[in-house]
Structure 1
Amino acid sequence: MLGLTAAVVAPAAPARAAVGHAELALRWAPIHHQDVDATGTHALGGRSDYLTAVDFDGDFNGRNNWDRTGQAGADLAARVYYSVVETPTHWYLTYLFFHPRDWTDHPFGETEHENDGEGALFAVERDGSPYGTLRGAVTVAHSDFFSYTPAGSSWTSGRESVDGTLAFQSSPHDAFQHPVTAQEAQGHGLKAHPQYRINGDGVVYYPSTVAETPSGANDRDVRYQLVDIFAPGGLWAQRATSSLFAHLGTFAGDTTGGCGQGTWSCGTNSANAPWGWDDGNDLPGRGEIATDPAKLAAEYFAVPGTLSRSYTRNPYTGAAAALKAAARTAPRVTD
């Protein structure tokens, strides 16, 4: 009788669950250096430079945010908004950093305004690893975009010249190296660190699942919570709320509460959400940094290999036609 020997088969390793969008956004969310100016009446001891949520005061009324920033009980816990758009070849992660005030302590020549929305787009190549590889970034500083690549990236300058190197830093709150961004005090332009840097007082924010409030104007370890732009009842769901948005992608803001007092002036309706961001000197249209990020990546960078323009997930798509039509007639807002 022929004897048979059973083959020894090792048990299959459990399949790793696909990385979710929230997990992906947390992985690549930047360590963020926020310069803080604690001097002057409008600084509120530094609180006017703290990151927070659009509805930090409990409502979606953009016209009372300046007024309520300095009130007792204002919740200035750190929150940063994000969205994830994907193609077969790349993930595109947009981050919105919101401040209730864009302010100044200069009496002449500068305008301040209620609400301030600046941010960044990170392009991540889907290379088969769980989180992919970050290849390029574009940041929003007022009405200009600035582009960056990490050291060793295969992406180079496209129609726009790369403005610098995107540095990485380890976080004490997880096991990852994160990109590093920075914002100036008062006007809150956003670039890759160290093109802006903390000068004296400042807050270093770390990505997390919890929202912490700085202990003061010079706190170097504050965790910020990521908030999905497309969460039910969230920022995107409020895009037609007239108390929050004056028109397409532009936050509503007025001159009440002391905005402009002792300075040159106070602007109204002067800050944008990601679908309102625009650099008037480049080819992509208003808001396309968020709504059509593959187009922007193809314009700003020379990308070897394949960069798909077909989206497998784009939560902005349902309103894309309306967004483009409205963008043609909406007034251009320069922060």
Structure 2
Amino acid sequence: MGLRRVFLVAIGVILAIVVGSLTQLKGIAQSPTDLDLAANHAPIHYQDTDSTKYSGDYITRFDYDGDWQATNNWDNLQRFALNAHAYYSVVETCTHWFITYSFFHPQDWTDIPFDQEHENDLEGLLAIVRKDGSTFGKPEGMVTAFHRDFYSYTPVGSPLRSGTESIDGTVTTSSYNGSQHPLTTQEAKGHGLKAWPNAGNFRGASNEDGIIYYPSKTTTELPASGNDRNVQYLLLDVFAPSGVWQHQLNEASLSSSSALTFASWGTFKGDSSGGCGAGAPTCSTNSANTPWGWDDSNDGAVYKGEMALDPAHLADVYFDGLGNFDTTYIRNQFIKDLSDRGYNTANLPQGWPTQINLNVLSGKLKNQCS
């Protein structure tokens, strides 16, 4: 009888431990997939359009025309559907997620005499998200690419303050699909990107030309016109097999003449065929950059491509008030893939930015949080 009582007490203790553990686990946020994370923080995107050529301002994917030849994207603008897409990448430290978003246009165009245009265009932003114990974390800051300049923004309540770069404004958000999303906007023609409403002439009013794009994990839509207020864009992982990053890696040691997609590291090929530069404007070649090729012309110790390759360093330089902030990565596929391909300071990709020591960058990867 005594043994039975001891046995029952032991079973009760074990059950209590199990129930308590399960209760604690319910309060711990499960790690989201990168797609879920990107979708939760993806911008509601206001694209200014110009009636001279609405299609020149539609966002789409690089291979919208069915191939990865960079020098026919300008030429094919009117030949293929421009369904809406945007690219994203996620890298992770012990304290933050860093998510880049980029919007592709086949043409950076103009109808202004003596201006300049070029084939291909990819501009976007970096979202800085603190891992606060909730499933999707808490946004703390945003840095956008506006041609050759970066602009910094923070949402209401963010602890971040101006660092070596001044904060340029506040992130406006709107509820969509159960979460708050930042609003971003791009100019017509040149497509420089800032937090809404700081770029272009489209705020969403009925008498303005523009498209409002909404993020989706499953759906891509074609605008009905250059004045469509509800178009879904499909999120594409930069790291997807046979995607844009894989094409960069495959061509990283090739010369521009041998490559199909890239002129050099982080820069798409582009030529003047198909009418680029026709008339008074001029056409510059090889002028569109990827997130690992974006650069601010005067931001000091942040170098070309760091918005994607080393976003924790960029954030550490741009902002103060970061608090507990890790600058090394438990996940950074950019760095890992470069290392796996055998790239280092003695074997650099063609066109690699000289200011970034690839061995030091590779040393920022770690296996776990302490």
TM-score scaled to structure 2, two decimals?
0.82
1:189 aligns with 2:204: no
Deviation at 1:298, TM superposition (A): 0.4
1:226 aligns with 2:254: no
Gaps of 5+ in 1: 331-335
Q: What does 1:1-335 correspond to in 2, within 5 Å? A: 12=22, 15=26, 17-39=30-52, 43=53, 46-71=54-79, 74-108=80-114, 110-171=115-176, 174-196=177-199, 197-198=201-202, 200-209=208-217, 210-239=219-248, 240-241=250-251, 242-282=259-299, 283-318=301-336, 319=338, 321=344, 322=348, 326-328=352-354
Contact 1:255/1:266 (CA < 8 Å) preserved in 2? Answer: yes
2-side partners of 1:291 and 1:32: how far apart? 24
Deviation at 1:329, TM superposition (A): 9.2
C-alpha RMSD of the superposition: 2.2
Instruction: Describe the shift of the 1:225–1:264 C-alpha distance in structure 2 as closer, same or farther (beyond 3 A).
Output: same
* Matched letter for residue 118 of structure 1: E
Instruction: Describe the shift of the 1:141–1:28 C-alpha distance in structure 2 as closer, same or farther (beyond 3 A).
Output: same
Deviation at 1:107, TM superposition (A): 1.8
Contact 2:110/2:116 (CA < 8 Å) preserved in 1? Answer: yes
Deviation at 1:75, TM superposition (A): 2.5
2-side partners of 1:129 and 1:274: how far apart? 28
- Give deviations 1:195-239, integer Å, cap 9, x for gaps: 124162110000102111101110000000000000011000001
TM-score scaled to structure 1, two decimals?
0.90
* Matched letter for residue 36 of structure 1: T
Instruction: Describe the shift of the 1:288–1:304 C-alpha distance in structure 2 as closer, same or farther (beyond 3 A).
Output: closer
Deviation at 1:303, TM superposition (A): 2.7
Deviation at 1:325, TM superposition (A): 7.2
Q: Secondary structure in 2 aligned to 1:67?
A: coil
Gaps of 5+ in 2: 252-258, 357-370
Deviation at 1:22, TM superposition (A): 1.1
2-side partners of 1:164 and 1:75: how far apart? 35
Q: Secondary structure in 2 aligned to 1:124?
A: strand
* Matched letter for residue 328 of structure 1: T
- Give deviations 1:249-282, integer Å, cap 9, x for gaps: 1010000001111232011001100110001201
Contact 1:149/1:162 (CA < 8 Å) preserved in 2? Answer: yes
Contact 1:66/1:101 (CA < 8 Å) preserved in 2? Answer: yes
- Give deviations 1:296-324, integer Å, cap 9, x for gaps: 00010003422111100001113274369
Q: Secondary structure in 2 aligned to 1:316?
A: helix
